[in-house]
Amino acid sequence: MRLSMKQRLFKECVGDLIQFAYDLGYELSFGDAFRDERVHGKWGEKESYSAGKSCHKVRLAVDFNLFVDGVYISDGSHPAWKVLGEYWETLNDNARHGGRFDDSGHFSFLYEGVM
């Protein structure tokens, strides 16, 4: 699948995830989304805190901040993250949740073996 098609599918799934979160009474704000190559380097280059191969660089990852009952949830083991992550992974075969590698706010699509 071409990158541009995968990016469009990713955007649709992000919208579904946001709606799902709000339907459950959670709120989200954006953390990192796109990581511009002028700051973070091109795909495969490490120019900052970002990994050389980060799905953020190809518009296939977003990090969210989570609020439950208006309270910011800094604990990555909060059960709401698991609910959101499991839902996310049902949306597309490429969907990966960072909760599986200690980054609960990270939601991405697999790209060239990277999540």
Over pLDDT 90: what percentage of the chain?
A: 82
Q: For residue 108, is pLDDT > 90?
A: yes
User: Does some domain include residue 29?
Assistant: yes
Mean pLDDT, the chain, as a whole number?
Answer: 95
**115 within a domain of the structure (yes/no):** no
Q: What is the pLDDT of residues 69-88, one digit of tens each?
A: 999 999 999 999 999 999 99
Total domain count, the chain: 1
Please state at what angle helix 79-91 crosses helix 3-23, rounded to 10 degrees. 140
The verdict on residue 87 lying in a domain is yes
Residue 114 inside a domain? The answer is no
Q: What is the pLDDT of residues 5-33, one digit of tens each?
A: 999 999 999 999 999 999 999 999 999 99
Question: Does residue 96 fall inside a structural domain?
Answer: yes
pLDDT higher than 90, residue 36 = no
Would you state the pLDDT for residue 41?
A: 84
Looking at the domain assignment, is residue 67 inside a domain?
yes
Which CATH number fits the domain that encloses residue 27?
Answer: 3.30.1380.10
Structural domain harbouring 64: 3-109
- pTM of the predicted model as reported, rounded to 2 decimal places: 0.93
59 domain-assigned: yes
- Whether residue 55 has pLDDT greater than 90: yes
Residue 31 included in any domain: yes
